[in-house]
Structure 1
Amino acid sequence: MIQKILTTLLLALPVFGHSVTPQKKTCVIPVAGDGLDDSPAIREAFQKCGTNGKVVFEKDSTYSVQTVLQLHDLKNVEVDLLGTIEYSTDVRYWIQHGSYYYFQNISIAMEFSGEDITIDGHGTGTIDGQGQVWYDLALGIGGLFGRPIPFCLRNVKNAVAKNFKILQSGKWNFVMVESQNILVDNIYLSSTSDDYQANPGNLGNTDGFDTINSDNITIQNSWANVGDDCVSFKPGSTNMHVKNLTCHNSAGIAIGSLGQYDGVRDVVENITAEDVTLIGSRNGAYIKTYVGKPTYYPPQGGGGGNGYVRNIVFRNFHIENITASPVLLQQCSRWAGYDVPSCADTPATGLFSNISWSNFTGYMNEAVGTNSISLVCSPLATCEGFSYDNIDIKPANGTEATYECSNVEGYSSSCQKN
């Protein structure tokens, strides 16, 4: 009997020298309903459970977001995005109150900041930007100020975002800014306009995934139907990996735009994009830079920047019905409608080195003709260490593909090795 009592007492005593994992705080966000704003309840949940906790958006629930969400200072938090986040269409509010970031004057509707963050949609989570009002308002002006970006990881270290959808984004869909060590997995993006056939210009600047001033990001196992770049590695993007990605009606996989800000040195390096399918795309895997002198102002205009792009690998692409060259270097980005000098008068600068395209299959649209490779390097830039291998993209008319190279070290004008 005494032995039994002693054993019970010993079991009840605290154990020193062994860590005990505390139970995570869990905050389940209620839905206000009746057209009320759920943003205050969302903020409160992250304030209470944003450190060493869990925040739950309930399944089969729609949360109305009518005010900007800056979910900052998070640490070791799990977010179960089981329900739907739906943004209001109050154009005046979003133009005046979005969370601002200097690059191209972007405006963010919801941003997460902090470290060790997991956002999991479990296959049901949805973010609905209700973007049609913005497509109609922009009328082809992609840089229209205030267009809200529905999802952003900003100043984040160590995060996973997976298993959810973003629909009808007001501008870019999924943005990572000044962040590092991010895994993006099984994300579905769709931005389509009711008026696209009659006015295809009204769906401009609805990029899929964008990275800015960020490092060590993987984007994998995802699908997008967007009106602009499916992925865009913007200035400051380093150590990026894209794999197993399918893109419909996009502008392709892009490095840039670069050189938009006068006197600013842009850097993009160590990028791999592989196992990519592009259907109905404007471009394939391409690099784009602004002209060498500033013309008008960002975000619509710009130019005069410099920098370098190096160690880029594009491989295993399947392309269908592309309307421009699948292998492309474009060094004259500019906007129509302004008094813009010719590219010859304002050539871009910069260093472009160790860039390869390999194992491309598929076919082009009739609009592109036969030019499957177009590498036109500015006379004031340096393009070295370029290579391409097994580029088997067939012209729509069944003829042989043609190649165009200019100022690319080691290649003739027809892209044959010297």
Structure 2
Amino acid sequence: MDNTRIFYLMMMIVHLFFFFSVGICKQFVVTDFGAVPDGKTDSRKALETAWQRACQTPGGSVLVPRGSFFVSMADFYGPCNGPTLFEHRGTLVASADPTLGERDHWITFDEVDGLTVFGDGVLDGNGALSWSRCGGLARCRQQLPPATLKMNYVTNSMVRGVRLINSKMFHVIIWASDGVWVRGVRITAPADSPNTDGIHIGDSNNTRITGSRISTGDDCISIGEGCTGVNVTRVRCGPGHGISIGSLGKYPSEGGVERVHVRNCTFLGTENGLRIKTWAQSLSSTVVSGVVYEEIEMRGVGNPILIDQFYCPGGSCQPGGESSVEIRGVKFANVWGSSASLASVSLKCSRTHPCRDIEFVGLNLTRGGRPTIALCANADDRFGGSGQIPSRCS
């Protein structure tokens, strides 16, 4: 058993021991503090008050019962007096306002250790108006729409079972956190909803995403700068833009991305599958290394394997120059299924910082039952074994 699995197993044991030892009897129900399940009355104060009481109480737990609760915004601050539960059984509905008063998030957990958010409840970002106003972000650059759920400086915590729908922008942001496990969640937004990434991770360590289904208008999972130790397992992605590392190099002083492991995942009709994207020209020189993709199924995916070091979404950058982000030590093992394009593997690497040690083992990617090809530029690539499709770079 690797160190990451041991870490998460121990985290679960500690949480269970704590709650069984103190007894889960200190539960604070949001309706007892004035929350009204009519879908209209703002229940922000009730939720925040219930959280404050639970956070201050050893073994404290918040309960959102069945029903539809309108919440203008909510901030759940720590540190707390021990591990804390947030049981979500109802539906929280956001305002249709695309900006929410110039906030970058709707609901946040901040500086909490030992948090467990669980249940079969729904977080409804109510994002349709934002999508129509902010398509491509060109009209919203001064104030981006808010994410649905932001976990900020959160440690040793879990989000399990909840459903997130129709976010105005990203559904989940995990930022500056350590030891967060997202398990068995369902994230859904229309395929044409712009910038509705499922889960975005930034500046965080030891993040795990397992057993989840993500269908959005952008990346199912995006791994941003400063991330180490990301494990993604048994995720069904699609529609959407795939699982991406990046984009990197857009801003100065960005951190690198190390030790990413994506395995046993399925991509269903996504624009991309496994993607690493960096900007040219880059404003920072950083490194992507120690990345393993294995046991991956593609079903009608546009670009199953893509390294793009000339990333420029919607023509939003000045063309020319090279990426200064170095990509090295990336392995693709046992990636199979169907590609929607002839080139199932595309490596568009920087001329000044070529991709190094890119390995392919056990590929079997076809298009309409026929073999696909690999197109590679400025890459040190190795195709190991026999009978791979594709078997080499063209």
Q: How does 1:119-198 map to 2 (within 5 A)?
A: 119-121=117-119, 124-141=120-137, 144=141, 145-192=143-190
Q: Does 1:67 align with 2:73?
A: yes
Aligned match of 2:293 in 295, 307, 314?
314
Q: Secondary structure at the match of 2:288?
A: strand
Aligned residue number for residue 98 of structure 2: 91
1:243-282: CA deviations, max 9, x gaps? 0010111111111110010x32431000000011000101
Q: 1:230 to 1:78 in 2, by over 3 A?
A: same
Aligned match of 1:37 in 38, 42, 50?
42
Q: Does 1:291 align with 2:280?
A: yes
Length, aligned pairs only? 359
1:157-203: CA deviations, max 9, x gaps? 110110110011111111110001111110000011xxx6xxx4xx2
1:295-352: CA deviations, max 9, x gaps? xxxxxxxx422200000001111111112x21110011124355x443xx31101221
Q: How does 1:359-398 map to 2 (within 5 A)?
A: 359-365=334-340, 368=341, 370-396=342-368, 398=369
Aligned match of 2:105 in 92, 103, 108?
108
Could you list the runs of 5+ residues in structure 1 that have no partner in the other structure?
Answer: 1-19, 99-106, 293-302
CA distance in 2, matches of 1:63, 1:244: 32
The question of whether the paired residues in 1 share the 8 Å contact of 2:48 and 2:74 is answered with: no
1:77-109: CA deviations, max 9, x gaps? 1111111111111335x1x341xxxxxxxx111
Q: Secondary structure at the match of 1:134?
A: helix
Q: 1:37 to 1:417 in 2, by over 3 A?
A: closer
CA distance in 1, matches of 2:315, 2:260: 33
Aligned residue number for residue 197 of structure 2: 207
Aligned residue number for residue 26 of structure 1: 27
The question of whether the paired residues in 2 share the 8 Å contact of 1:181 and 1:216 is answered with: yes
Q: TM-score, normalised on structure 2?
A: 0.85
Q: CA RMSD in A?
A: 2.3
Q: Secondary structure at the match of 1:386?
A: strand
The question of whether the paired residues in 1 share the 8 Å contact of 2:360 and 2:382 is answered with: no
CA distance in 2, matches of 1:55, 1:64: 21
Of all paired residues, the percent bearing the same amino acid is 22
Q: TM-score, normalised on structure 1?
A: 0.81
Could you list the runs of 5+ residues in structure 2 that have no partner in the other structure?
Answer: 1-19, 384-389
Q: Which one-letter code corresponds to 2:135 in the other structure?
A: L
The question of whether the paired residues in 2 share the 8 Å contact of 1:350 and 1:380 is answered with: no
CA distance in 1, matches of 2:37, 2:267: 40
Q: 1:410 to 1:27 in 2, by over 3 A?
A: closer
How much has 1:59 moved relative to structure 2?
Answer: 3.0
CA distance in 1, matches of 2:351, 2:172: 35
Q: Secondary structure at the match of 2:114?
A: strand
Q: Secondary structure at the match of 2:137?
A: coil
- Once the two structures are overlaid, the 10-residue window that deviates more, 374-383 or 228-237, is 374-383
Q: Does 1:243 align with 2:240?
A: no
The question of whether the paired residues in 2 share the 8 Å contact of 1:291 and 1:348 is answered with: yes
Q: 1:79 to 1:336 in 2, by over 3 A?
A: closer
Q: Which one-letter code corresponds to 1:240 in the other structure?
A: V
Find runs of 4+ consecutive structure 1 residues off by over 6 angstroms. Answer: none
